Structure 1
Amino acid sequence: MRTVLLPKDDNPAYFYGVLTASVVPRPIAWVSSRSAAGTPNLAPYSFFTVVSGMPPVVLFSSNGEKDSLRNIRETKQFVINLAAEPLFEKINATSAPFDAEVSEFEAVGLTDEPSERVDVPRVSQSPLAIECSLREIIPVEGSFLVLGDVLCVSADPDVLAEDGLPSFPDLAPLTRLGRTEWSFPGEVRAIDRPAAP
């Protein structure tokens, strides 16, 4: 017999824990943004996915009003930097609750560099960056879905395969699990989709 886990009005953190330990692994959007005053911001978000391929649209979710959300509302731009395995500790460090006037790039020892299509810096050490303009922010109670139109993807040539597409083993992306757990790249297997019967 299964154990049934239910939301608890008096303990919403419990069911948040249930969901984040159940929907695994989750890719990480390492979001860089810039305030209207010009301060860069960098923070990881593990509720992240592709919404559409044509037009290219991505989405991440902010639980609460955070600096990234305020900055994106102000400037209408952001960058999703790939959260790669060698940057594990620095990615985690950028999740600390820094003041809005503090640049996480400087605080944790990362290098920012100009992006190609937006006036928001990307992480120089990250092998791939998805540059976005804001499409829409959708409130869901105390959370916010941030949809971005993808303007371009810039990639280190070393992470591109012969077909010009990003290579999973070379990207070495991190993912989030439940609790304080993270997952590292593992075995990759390929299988063709079946033809129509």
Structure 2
Amino acid sequence: MIYSATRDDLGFAHDPFKAIVAPRPIGWITALNGKGEVNLSPYSFFNAISARPNMVVFSSENKKDAVSFIEETGEFTCSLVSGALVRQMNLTSAPLPRGQSEYAHAGLDMAPSRFVRPPRVAGTPAALECKSVSIQQLRDIDGQEVPRWMVIGQVVGIFIDDAFVKDGRFDTAGANPIARCGYADYAAVTELFSIQRPPGG
């Protein structure tokens, strides 16, 4: 089958787009506003977009606190969501009143960052400390603004729990990162396989 993705009635009970573009890493973003208030929220529209310099991107459907806070202070952290933290991650997606702590709501502790002011989630296997490069509202193919905001950040510091460093490499499978799929579905990384690229690839 093939269908127009721009029409309102797709012929599905739920739009399959997010189930097709899957699994997606979860950007568990901590941001501070100018008053020092903390926001923690998970974003499944998240990924790495550059290796040198290290850069990441996340996109917010509607202008949520994380985007507004980053506009104010220009910094954020992204904590890796492990299998051990998936319940707490889900709790931080609740639409709490502004000023109510997602950390407290989810029973999480904060750990200090070294290169930016926002903290990371204590107990995460790894976290990225980032400075904002750009924030922009997205537009559709007709040039119309849509209520979606994209944040690009440059990674200025990386925390890794020493327990997940094996033979000089980050133990991805051991860290058990959780990724978002479609609908209410998630995936867990528990094992890896390797493929060597062709020469020059």
Give the TM-score normalised by the residue count of structure 1: 0.91
Question: Whole-Å Cα distance in 2 between the matches of residues 112 and 16 of structure 1?
Answer: 36
1:131–1:152 CA contact under 8 A, matched in 2:
yes
> What's the CA shift for 1:57?
1.0
1:7–1:15 CA contact under 8 A, matched in 2:
no
- Measured against aligned partners, the alpha-carbon deviations of 1:101-157 in whole angstroms (never above 9, x if no partner) come to 111001110001210111101101111110000000121121111000110101100
- Measured against aligned partners, the alpha-carbon deviations of 1:39-61 in whole angstroms (never above 9, x if no partner) come to 11111001111111112111111
2:171 is aligned to 167
> What's the CA shift for 1:179?
0.3
> What's the CA shift for 1:15?
10
Does residue 117 in structure 1 map to residue 110 in structure 2? no
- Please, which runs of 5 or more residues in structure 1 have no aligned partner? none
2:112–2:120 CA contact under 8 A, matched in 1:
yes
Q: How does 1:44-123 map to 2 (within 5 A)?
A: 44-123=42-121
**Match among 157, 172, 180 for residue 184 of structure 2:** 180
2:36 is aligned to 38
Question: Whole-Å Cα distance in 1 between the matches of residues 46 and 98 of structure 2?
Answer: 23
Equivalent position SS for 1:192: coil
1:139 is aligned to 137
- Measured against aligned partners, the alpha-carbon deviations of 1:69-114 in whole angstroms (never above 9, x if no partner) come to 1110011000000011111111011001011211100111000121
**Match among 11, 25, 28 for residue 27 of structure 1:** 25
1:93–1:108 CA contact under 8 A, matched in 2:
yes
> What's the CA shift for 1:188?
1.3
Identity in percent: 32
- Measured against aligned partners, the alpha-carbon deviations of 1:15-69 in whole angstroms (never above 9, x if no partner) come to 9832101101101000011122211111100111111111211111111110101
2:112–2:118 CA contact under 8 A, matched in 1:
yes
Question: Whole-Å Cα distance in 2 between the matches of residues 147 and 191 of structure 1?
Answer: 30
Equivalent position SS for 1:90: helix
1:112–1:121 CA contact under 8 A, matched in 2:
yes
2:56–2:155 CA contact under 8 A, matched in 1:
yes
Question: Whole-Å Cα distance in 1 between the matches of residues 58 and 117 of structure 2?
Answer: 20
- Please, which runs of 5 or more residues in structure 2 have no aligned partner? 139-145
1:32–1:42 CA contact under 8 A, matched in 2:
yes
Question: Whole-Å Cα distance in 2 between the matches of residues 84 and 96 of structure 1?
Answer: 19
1:39–1:102 CA contact under 8 A, matched in 2:
no
> Which amino acid is 1:188 matched to?
L
Q: Provide the alpha-carbon RMSD of the alignment.
A: 1.9
**Equivalenced residues, count:** 193
1:59–1:145 CA contact under 8 A, matched in 2:
yes
